[in-house]
Amino acid sequence: MSKKFKVVTIGGGSSYTPELVEGIIKRYEKIPVTELWLVDVEAGREKLETVGALAKRMVKKAGVPIEIHLSYDRREALKDADFVTTQLRVGQLAARALDERIPLKYGVIGQETNGAGGLFKALRTIPVILDICKEVEELCPNAWVLNFTNPAGMVTEAVLRYSNIKKFIGLCNIPIGMEMGIAKLLNVDHSRVRIDFAGLNHMVFGLEVYLDGVSVKDKVLGMIMDPANASFVKNIDAEEWAPEFLKGINVIPCSYHHYYYKTSEMLTRELKEFESNETRAEVVQRIEASLFEKYKDETLDVKPPELEKRGGAYYSDAACRLISSIYNDTRDIQPLNTMNKGAISDLPYNAAVEVSCVITKDGPVPLTMGELPVPVRGLIQTIKSFEQMAIEAAVEGSREKAIVALTINPLVANDKVAIAIVDEMLEAHKAYLPRFFKKINKFNV
Ligand code: G6P
């Protein structure tokens, strides 16, 4: 009998799960998973059953002996897990739509992981992830937890600061998407391209780009000046970069930087989407509905290509290659969210950063990137302050800290606007913010 290898996915009913299943099947020789547990909450029963049935068909077609278990009992599922992946969305897509729409009413960017939307996603999510960490500590203390749940950087730092779990890594598809996108532009295989990444989640820059070990950064900067190449993810319609600006910063921005360096153009786009009920959450709700219709088809036994319309496409590659590298101690390089430990000298030692790391059986070892380039240093440090205030707000249930976080965020940058947005969003998300409302009640008494 093969050795037990148990992977548990919290938020297993997600439309992205077929990617993960495909990634595990593809690498079965390297990661011989024996049990995959897909866990969800009761409210997600229909989705979990649909996705779970597809996962079973995929495994059967591939002919690999992986048992698929569906569960609504997180504690039962976590028992003795080897790897836990988290991909949950507190409040589902309806909450995301509020995160995107409410800030737009005040004339500021409404985005899932940035500005006010990112703040409220953090406030809802961090306490839930900290609860999961407590259960991991008790039920599978040796497991690695790989987190995709957004905002992945803030979630990682919250765990580093407020939980006893050490084997926790934040993952994102942005860096892998940049590498794949740049390889495509250069018309070479992905494996020949390596980028030195440094920054924060959704605030990461490519400091260097190598093709077979030789720098091609200048060539790539030239290529992304073409508007057709300005974004590497499906969820962001990019604006054209000014060549002077790209040459001046001399590093490769990620797609989310459009919100910071082209704020007014991105806001104009978003306001149009707001008017026509086409914000990204609303579009994604429609994509999801049609994906789930596909998943229900009992003849479907592979990942449908429509999944690649989602911004998080290819995240399974990031997850499964990480599981494989830890399991096999491969010591290859991957960009991850982990404790800085001095790798980026301009950010706190204990902060979570997104950085290229060597992956060992003991986890990621961040590569030394040294000082951040001056043109991008200030923005990254500001966003780190925003993140740290947001994390404290989430843990303490502090309205005041949430207001400070939003006021120092460059997408808001106004105290009165921050107060108005925070108060409206606290009310709108009340059901998912118990730490805030317990406190407010206490003050009111
Ligand atoms: C990007 C980000 C992910 C995010 C996704 C949203 O890929 O890296 O963190 O979840 O976009 O995509 P969606 O299709 O939900 O807008």
- Give residue 308 CA to ligand 1 midpoint distance, Å: 11
Catalytic residue, candidates 256, 259, 295, 315 = 256
Residue nearest to atom 12 of ligand 1 (CA): 311
- Beta strand pairing status for 35-39 and 6-10? parallel
The CA distance from 44 to 171, in Å, is 23
The predicted-structure confidence for 155-193, as pLDDT tens digits, reads as follows: 999 999 999 999 999 999 999 999 999 999 999 999 999
Sign of torsion over alpha carbons 414, 416, 419, 423? negative
On whether the CB atoms of residues 363 and 330 are closer than 8 A, the answer is no
DSSP-based three-state secondary structure for 68: strand
pLDDT of residue 316: 81
Tell me the backbone φ, ψ of residue 197, rounded to 5 degrees: -100, 140
- Of 420, 437, 436, give the one whose Cα is nearest residue 116: 420
What is the mean pLDDT of the segment spanning 62-72?
98
CB half-sphere exposure, 342, CA atoms < 13 A = 0
Q: Which atom of ligand 1 is nearest to the CA of 313?
A: 7
pLDDT of residue 2: 66
The CA distance from 212 to 319, in Å, is 24
**Within 6 Å (CB) of ligand 1, which residues are found?**
150, 172-174, 233, 235, 280, 284, 310-312
**For 131-140, b where at least 16 C-beta lie within 10 A, e where not — what string?**
ebbebbeebb
On whether the CB atoms of residues 165 and 140 are closer than 8 A, the answer is no
- Give residue 126 CA to ligand 1 midpoint distance, Å: 18
Q: What percent of the chain has pLDDT over 90?
A: 91
Residue type, 21: V
Cα 181 to the center of its chain, rounded Å: 18
Residue nearest to atom 3 of ligand 1 (CA): 312
What is the mean pLDDT of the segment spanning 428-444?
80
On whether the CB atoms of residues 60 and 301 are closer than 8 A, the answer is yes
Catalytic, 349? Answer: no
The token pair at 321 is 């290659």
The predicted-structure confidence for 292-350, as pLDDT tens digits, reads as follows: 999 999 999 998 888 887 887 778 878 999 999 999 999 999 999 999 999 999 999 99
DSSP lists the bridge partners of residue 56 as: none
The predicted-structure confidence for 244-302, as pLDDT tens digits, reads as follows: 999 999 999 999 999 999 999 999 999 999 999 999 999 999 999 999 999 999 999 99
**For 55-79, b where at least 16 C-beta lie within 10 A, e where not — what string?**
bbbbbeebebebebbbbbebeebbe
On whether the CB atoms of residues 37 and 56 are closer than 8 A, the answer is no
For residue 151, the surrounding DSSP H or E stretch is none
- Of 335, 316, 367, 374, give the one whose Cα is nearest residue 33: 316
Sign of torsion over alpha carbons 402, 404, 408, 412? positive
Q: Give strand ranges (E) for 294-370.
A: 333-339, 352-360, 363-366
Query: Which residue carries 């030195």 as its tokens?
Result: 196
* Best residue among 176, 233, 316 to mutate for probing ligand 1, ranked by most atoms within 8 Å of CB: 233
| Statement: residue 376 has pLDDT above 90 | yes
Reported pTM = 0.96
pLDDT of residue 440: 52
DSSP-based three-state secondary structure for 22: helix
Q: Which atom of ligand 1 is nearest to the CA of 150?
A: 9
The token pair at 263 is 């704020």
Phi-psi region of 250 (alpha: psi -120 to 50; beta: other; left: phi over 0): left
